[in-house]
Amino acid sequence: MMKHKKTIIQLVLFLAILLLFPVVADAQCAMCNATASTGSEGNNESALALNSGILFLMAIPYLLLTAIVVIMVIFRRQRRAERQEMV
């Protein structure tokens, strides 16, 4: 049990370090790059729309992952409660 807690602590620390020190990536698809460069010349609305679209597309995987983790935690707690009732 102690080894399991140590692994969880290491994982949390690793994720915290990744979040505290983000790596800047200059990666864009050709279409996004063309839209962003055209939009930044004078019309700021297209650049804002592009940013909103990227944020929307980025939010969906995080929401799905969060839902999966919540469901896993709920089932795990139910299993533990059932095991403790048996003992």
Instruction: Please count the structural domains in the chain.
Output: 1
Mean pLDDT of 40-60: 76
Residue 1 lies in a domain: no
Residue 18 lies in a domain: no
Residue 82 lies in a domain: yes
What is the CB neighbour count within 10 angstroms for residue 20?
Answer: 7
The reported pLDDT for the residue numbered 87 is 74
Residue 74 lies in a domain: yes
In this structure, what are the phi and psi dihedrals at residue 59, rounded to the nearest 5 degrees? -70, -35
Mean pLDDT of 51-67: 87
The reported pLDDT for the residue numbered 45 is 76
| Per-residue pLDDT at 70 exceeds 90 | yes
The reported pLDDT for the residue numbered 76 is 93
pLDDT band for position 73 (cuts 50, 70, 90): very high
Task: Check residues 8 and 45 and name the one with the higher pLDDT.
Answer: 8
Q: What is the pLDDT of residues 17-43, one digit of tens each?
A: 878 876 665 666 777 767 666 655 666
Give DSSP secondary structure letters for 22-58.
PPP-----HHHHHHHHHHTTS-HHHHHHHHHHHHHHH
Residue range of the domain that includes 77: 47-87
